[in-house]
Amino acid sequence: MAERGLEPSPAAVAALPPEVRAQLAELELELSEGDITQKGYEKKRSKLLSPYSPQTQETDSIGQKERNQTPAPTAAQTSAPSKYHRSRSGGARDERYRSDIHTEAVQAALAKHKEQKMALPMPTKRRSTFVQSPADACTPPENVSAPPDVTATTSSSSSSLRPANIDLPPSGIVKGMHKGSNRSSLMDTADGVPVNSRVSTKIQQLLNTLKRPKRPPLKEFFVDDSEEIVEVPQPDPNQPKPEGRQMTPVKGEPLGVICNWPPALESALQRWGSTQAKCPCLTGLDVTGKPVYTLTYGKLWSRSLKLAYTLLNKLGTKNEPVLKPGDRVALVYPNNDPVMFMVAFYGCLLAEVIPVPIEVPLTRKDAGGQQIGFLLGSCGIALALTSEICLKGLPKTQNGEIVQFKGWPRLKWVVTDSKYLSKPPKDWQPHISPAGTEPAYIEYKTSKEGSVMGVTVSRLAMLSQCQALSQACNYSEGETVVNVLDFKKDAGLWHGMFANVMNKMHTISVPYSVMKTCPLSWVQRVHAHKAKVALVKCRDLHWAMMAHRDQRDVSLSSLRMLIVTDGANPWSVSSCDAFLSLFQSHGLKPEAICPCATSAEAMTVAIRRPGVPGAPLPGRAILSMNGLSYGVIRVNTEDKNSALTVQDVGHVMPGGMMCIVKPDGLPQLCKTDEIGEICVSSRTGGMMYFGLAGVTKNTFEVIPVTSSGSPVGDIPFIRSGLLGFVGPGSLVFVVGKMDGLLMVSGRRHNADDIVATGLAVESIKTVYRGRIAVFSVSVFYDERIVVVAEQRPDASEEDSFQWMSRVLQAIDSIHQVGVYCLALVPANTLPKTPLGGIHISQTKQLFLEGSLHPCNILMCPHTCVTNLPKPRQKQPGVGPASVMVGNLVAGKRIAQAAGRDLGQIEENDLVRKHQFLAEILQWRAQATPDHVLFMLLNAKGTTVCTASCLQLHKRAERIASVLGDKGHLNAGDNVVLLYPPGIELIAAFYGCLYAGCIPVTVRPPHAQNLTATLPTVRMVVDVSKAACVLTTQTLMRLLKSREAAAAVDVKTWPAIIDTDDLPRKRLPQLYKPPTPEMLAYLDFSVSTTGMLTGVKMSHSAVNALCRAIKLQCELYSSRQIAICLDPYCGLGFALWCLCSVYSGHQSVLIPPMELENNLFLWLATVNQYKIRDTFCSYSVMELCTKGLGNQVEVLKTRGINLSCIRTCVVVAEERPRVSLQQSFSKLFKDIGLSPRAVSTTFGSRVNVAICLQGTSGPDPTTVYVDLKSLRHDRVRLVERGAPQSLLLSESGKILPGVKVVIVNPETKGPVGDSHLGEIWVNSPHTASGYYTIYDSETLQADHFNTRLSFGDAAQTLWARTGYLGFVRRTELTAATGERHDALYVVGALDETLELRGLRYHPIDIETSVSRVHRSIAECAVFTWTNLLVVVVELCGSEQEALDLVPLVTNVVLEEHYLIVGVVVVVDPGVVPINSRGEKQRMHLRDSFLADQLDPIYVAYNM
């Protein structure tokens, strides 16, 4: 930066005024704390210094120019330090992928991308989360005047419990309120969300990125409305197709017959051990790379004999030997002890037991260790051979025994050091028969899925492999071979342990541990021993090149063969070239480089023979990547960026035969220009997977067929697992492995190629080259590519993100395939294979189960997922009437239902006589003055207050007189009642009725959380135009306190009257309303969408409501009910304040907040008073289910028994939470709760009680509906356990006098019962309208007095509940004798998300998300500009935060066919929940967009 370059000198700074210096220091601090961005820092700093420094202004403009010219650190800038890095980059195992051609190609592709560069939004991360992230990774928005933090109490991470019932202030929306009337605090933009917040800009960036067209164009077709069709990728008409003729199997040269070749490998050992005892056979090295021990042929023979004898005769008793010929034995030897291993291996062969070499287990839970255990178990292994040193190093339990490894069978460990072996008697000879098809040894192999299989090799195959290798490599007696490979398997075993014994050669074994400390050790061994042959991998070539400056004077002129055993990796060619160009000056002959291809099943597939000096080297194949992805060989002509250069791996093995077959389906022969799986037929391959007959048949007994399906000959071939083709001159080319094959949308990609592309993006600063895993996961009917890499600890957040976006672009450009997920994990956290590679299948498993713990992640579902069904187009044209007629013709009922008819039910004369609740209370005070109506309990379960009919009446009279005297109120004035749940509230309510005032019950503010709760109170007071507030002294002080003044304007409260000490004075006369249609009370409530709505309840509605509840629940004066609910609105208020006075039953009142201090309170009360009917809320039920889940025994010992309960009713205004109800029922079944007892109610703003289970009538029914149809507003019932099914429960029985019809919300016409529609209700207790400042007539008429658009001759007036649901006729009989119609509520219309033309209910998506990982405590979804945002609360450790991103994205895609746009991970308690236990998603949305959530991580999916 220019400004930083010309900073004022220290002297100049010292000369600045002290206040400027202080401001500068403060700025520095802000920058170091991360409270300000670098850019913001520089801006403010230059502003501060500008008056004192004349040059800074000019430099600022220069800086600006320079900055504009260099938008991002380009490759040129970053590559300066890279040379230094490359000279010795840490775990650079995978320089095998290094290709300068490829790097150029990638740079070119990236440059092309840069021209059309899109800004990707960088994920937001909380600074504390990951140690690796630097200080400036998380900067708050520049403006400090962000809106107040409404979630302050909820986001304190220390208390994981969500504060109980907090009704957050509504987002400033009041139904029917004018725009101008009190929205000053919110800007009038997108739902009152401040626009300059950082989140909105990121989302805007994301949207811009997503506007780019997807690559595969979607095909045009109509989608049937009821069924979503997943887009099937159509084959590209221009894709290349193979045009060659069908290939014919290629034969290798005949296997020469050499007269002195032994009849079995053991015979060769016997011959050399007896005749050439002094000849060296094998040399082991110490850690420094110096030869430490040489095993001669004589020693190998004698020690193997001792071991064979001991195994057969000395382990058990004579009659019961532990081992018999043919048994299998595990060989557990470390990679630095080839000598002990060789003795053990040949000892087993001589004893005719079958060795199974495996890795030394390091911990109880090694990566893939369990699968090794499975192999040992299936081989029936009970014995493990090992060396004394190795045994000492194995993990032990406290009492010194070797631990039981996870998944392993019980093993007996046998130490094979010479001193523990017995010398065989003179007459004992091993049985060596000519080699046949009996098993010789088993080599383990890990499949793509991570399972371990044992490839069984017969004695004949072992011998034939030695003969073929000896002929192909032209081995001769006494040659020296340097082996850097693992000697327990593959080429290391075949060349270094078998072929050397066959030909009396001398092997020098260089272990992996030595290579790590001294990468040049193998070159030094070749030089020192004048070795003729070296066995290496590309990795070893790279390591030698990196270290070669340390050694000027080595010579490789003795080498006639440098066998590169991973020549099958297409990227080996660049390693070989680079090595040759460096070491040719050290005597390395170009013709000595011999790549070969091997596999566990087919053993050596092909090997390049040592060339003749001076002969031309074989050519290369330069193939088109695009062609390869369609399995076709095309020489690359058009675009040099997407080319793959491959070298041959020589010819077919002597005596072998090779063909290429299609990789999947029938083993059909490929055409000559087609890529397929290489199969070989020879005696030199494996014979089977041990114990797996089915898989064996598909792999080891393949008979290729022609295109017409007829078999080619009768010789069985073995699938090698390698993909390739046979080129000109019968040269074999390998382009990849079956295990690394990723099939995406019908095209094949090779994991190795993708790794190479990722590494060609200048990655030195960000990731470890050798630590990249590429695999595919199956999501939404296709494979998706996942790339996981280990990030360097010093990589900055910016660098990593930069690298990730460039890798995505490079892979997209070169391979034409999208990466679904790119994750970076902290260094050294990926599971390793024994030789240091990455354990791919284990990594994939960790990714899928959410325990990979990435520190950076980038998901690109928008780019990759191109097979989503087309968005649904609403088909216009068919009118509602035709739909109805269509339904009737199809024999579908119109969806409607009704409760019992009120008119036919006789009742005592009470109702006839009294039309008003106040009159009923007066009548009861005279008729039954001492009958107790209410009992209030505290947390201890003791009664703190009771009210008889007379006490309540007297108390109400006093309150009425205070209202007249102190408040000077007139009839019809509104009075806010601000009380904690209790009897005081009830008395104040009736006091208002006596005085002719209109009561408005409001939840009191939370003393500890005034900023969040007081604005709601203030808003209700303002909106209801209350003339005064009745409350307690404590709350009165709180309303006027200094803390309250910080939240609202306390000077403008209406008159506040406390009712603690009332004068004993009564009204001369009580008020009687002129008509029952007069207003009785106002019911205010904040909906889940943040709407504050008040509805008007008339006296006649109150009467009708109480009567309906009385009839449904059979309430009368001898009954007792227990209520554990909030008494401020809806049915909770009616049950708490109204019903007892009307029906005369006794209500035991339990304030829900008391449960937090004593979870047992509610259930203990029910048990103590033997209550038959109890009412609660979902939050109470959840509290008991979660809190008492493990306390059922305690409940039993306390003698709590719930068998008295006849109905336990959850009061709710939402879809019944079936799983919570079921958990509650199951949990307390043991203490007598009948499962039939638990039910739910349904009410809404327009009608607080539509359904209530009641005491008679059939039990609530449940149905399973198809989620896919629900999205189309259809209802299709399915069986339990059907995929994509949703369990719904009936919301109780419809109350007497209530009629319900299901209506299409758009056309307002009735629908048939197979449709989802809005629930409309007609009943005498429907509210009479919204109470608003400006009476908005249209809303009023639409919601409260609306008519069906057709089909209703009676022109009934309906109220719209705003909830979607459906009616189903059941097989049960209702009280009237007719079949019972059940009403099912699906969800609130306001809350539904319209995405891709379909209707989604947030709760369904949330249920899927909550299931996906054990650390998700709660979850909420909402949409923003058509993007789906998922907020999850993380209850685990913060390192799990990023594990959730792919899991959440996957599950929503799989189950809901939606792509998640943003995943936000937050602390527990951040999702706001209101007093009814409902999520307030709109508040959450506003807080998110205003950047107030303090998220742990925000991922923006591409």
Q: What is the mean pLDDT of the chain?
A: 85
For the chain, what is the radius of gyration of the CA atoms?
41
Cα–Cα distances in angstroms (integers) from residue 455 to residues 689, 692, 841, 878, 1214, in the given order: 5, 10, 19, 66, 60
Q: Is the pLDDT of residue 903 over 70?
A: no
For residues 549 and 565, give the distance between their C-alpha atoms in angstroms, rounded to a whole number: 25
For residues 430 and 303, give the distance between their C-alpha atoms in angstroms, rounded to a whole number: 13
Q: In which band, very low, low, confident or very high, does the pLDDT at 922 lie, cut at 50, 70 and 90?
A: very high
Record the tokens describing residue 1145, joined without a space: 């039953």
* Listed range (105-119, 144-158, 291-305, 1042-1056) with the worst mean pLDDT: 144-158
Residue 1199 and residue 1167 in contact, taking contact as beta carbons nearer than 8 Å: yes
Residue 680 and residue 657 in contact, taking contact as beta carbons nearer than 8 Å: yes
The reported pTM is 0.83
Q: How many CB atoms lie within 10 A of CB 85?
A: 13
Q: In which band, very low, low, confident or very high, does the pLDDT at 85 lie, cut at 50, 70 and 90?
A: very low
* Listed range (55-59, 171-175, 659-663, 885-889) with the worst mean pLDDT: 55-59
pLDDT tens digits, one per residue of 247-259 = 999 999 998 876 6
* Dihedrals phi, psi of 328, to nearest 5 degrees: -105, 145
For residues 355 and 359, give the distance between their C-alpha atoms in angstroms, rounded to a whole number: 13
Cα angle 693, 697, 698; round to 5: 125
For residues 584 and 557, give the distance between their C-alpha atoms in angstroms, rounded to a whole number: 9
Residue 1441 and residue 1413 in contact, taking contact as beta carbons nearer than 8 Å: no
- Per-residue pLDDT, averaged over 201-206, amounts to 75
Higher pLDDT, 546 or 1098: 1098
- Alpha-helical regions (H) of 1416-1480: 1444-1456
Residue 644 and residue 753 in contact, taking contact as beta carbons nearer than 8 Å: yes
Residue 896 and residue 931 in contact, taking contact as beta carbons nearer than 8 Å: no
For residues 789 and 858, give the distance between their C-alpha atoms in angstroms, rounded to a whole number: 12
For residues 371 and 468, give the distance between their C-alpha atoms in angstroms, rounded to a whole number: 33
Between the two ends of the chain, the Cα-to-Cα distance in Å is 31
- Per-residue pLDDT, averaged over 57-80, amounts to 39
Q: In which band, very low, low, confident or very high, does the pLDDT at 219 lie, cut at 50, 70 and 90?
A: very low
- Per-residue pLDDT, averaged over 623-633, amounts to 91
**pLDDT score, position 358:** 94
For residues 442 and 462, give the distance between their C-alpha atoms in angstroms, rounded to a whole number: 11
Higher pLDDT, 66 or 795: 795
User: Which stretch of DSSP H or E encloses residue 1135?
Assistant: none
* Dihedrals phi, psi of 610, to nearest 5 degrees: -60, 135
Contacts of residue 614, Cβ cutoff 8 Å, sequence gap at least 6? none
Higher pLDDT, 882 or 307: 307
Q: In which band, very low, low, confident or very high, does the pLDDT at 197 lie, cut at 50, 70 and 90?
A: low
Cα–Cα distances in angstroms (integers) from residue 382 to residues 330, 397, 405, 416, 1039, in the given order: 8, 20, 14, 16, 79
CA 185 to chain CA centroid, Å, is: 38
Buried/exposed code over 1208-1232 (b: 16+ C-beta within 10 A; e: otherwise): bbbbbbbbbbeebbbbbbebbeebe
Q: How many CB atoms lie within 10 A of CB 91?
A: 14
Q: Is the pLDDT of residue 11 over 70?
A: no
For residues 756 and 758, give the distance between their C-alpha atoms in angstroms, rounded to a whole number: 5
Burial class of residue 324 (count of CB atoms within 10 Å of its CB; 0-12, 13-18, 19+): exposed
- Per-residue pLDDT, averaged over 1145-1174, amounts to 94
Region of 980 on the Ramachandran plot (φ > 0 left; ψ -120 to 50 alpha; else beta)? beta
- Per-residue pLDDT, averaged over 1170-1181, amounts to 94
- Torsion 386-392-396-399 (CA) sign: positive
- Per-residue pLDDT, averaged over 470-481, amounts to 94
* Listed range (44-58, 270-284, 776-790) with the worst mean pLDDT: 44-58
Record the tokens describing residue 960, joined without a space: 């009425």
- Per-residue pLDDT, averaged over 1337-1351, amounts to 80
Q: In which band, very low, low, confident or very high, does the pLDDT at 672 lie, cut at 50, 70 and 90?
A: very high
Residue 1008 and residue 978 in contact, taking contact as beta carbons nearer than 8 Å: no
Q: In which band, very low, low, confident or very high, does the pLDDT at 228 lie, cut at 50, 70 and 90?
A: low
Q: Is the pLDDT of residue 986 over 50?
A: yes
Q: Is the pLDDT of residue 808 over 60?
A: yes
Q: Is the pLDDT of residue 1164 over 90?
A: yes
pLDDT tens digits, one per residue of 1212-1262 = 999 999 999 999 999 999 999 998 999 999 999 999 999 998 887 788 899
| 482: nearest Cα among 446, 452, 466, 506 | 506
For residues 971 and 968, give the distance between their C-alpha atoms in angstroms, rounded to a whole number: 10
pLDDT tens digits, one per residue of 1120-1159 = 999 999 999 999 999 999 999 999 999 999 999 999 899 9
Residue 534 and residue 561 in contact, taking contact as beta carbons nearer than 8 Å: yes
- Per-residue pLDDT, averaged over 278-289, amounts to 92
What is the DSSP secondary-structure string of 1246-1303?
Answer: S-S-SB---SSSPPPPEEEEEHHHHHTTB--B--TT-TTEEEEE--SPBPTT-EEEEE
**pLDDT score, position 1468:** 95
**pLDDT score, position 643:** 85
Tell me the percentage of the chain whose pLDDT exceeds 90.
Answer: 58
Instruction: Report the DSSP pairing between strands 593-599 and 603-607.
Output: antiparallel
Cα angle 958, 963, 964; round to 5: 100
Looking at residue 975, what DSSP letter applies?
A: E
**pLDDT score, position 9:** 57
Looking at residue 81, what DSSP letter applies?
A: H
Q: Is the pLDDT of residue 135 over 70?
A: no
Q: In which band, very low, low, confident or very high, does the pLDDT at 234 lie, cut at 50, 70 and 90?
A: confident
Q: Helix and strand tally (H, E) in the chain?
A: 47, 58
| 1128: nearest Cα among 1017, 1240, 970 | 1017
- Per-residue pLDDT, averaged over 1186-1199, amounts to 90
pLDDT tens digits, one per residue of 533-577 = 999 998 899 888 888 776 678 899 999 999 999 888 888 888 899
For residues 661 and 724, give the distance between their C-alpha atoms in angstroms, rounded to a whole number: 10
Q: Is the pLDDT of residue 346 over 60?
A: yes
* Listed range (864-878, 948-962, 1115-1129, 1423-1437) with the worst mean pLDDT: 864-878
Higher pLDDT, 431 or 613: 431
> What single letter denotes the amino acid at residue 539?
R
Q: In which band, very low, low, confident or very high, does the pLDDT at 178 lie, cut at 50, 70 and 90?
A: very low
Q: Is the pLDDT of residue 75 over 60?
A: no
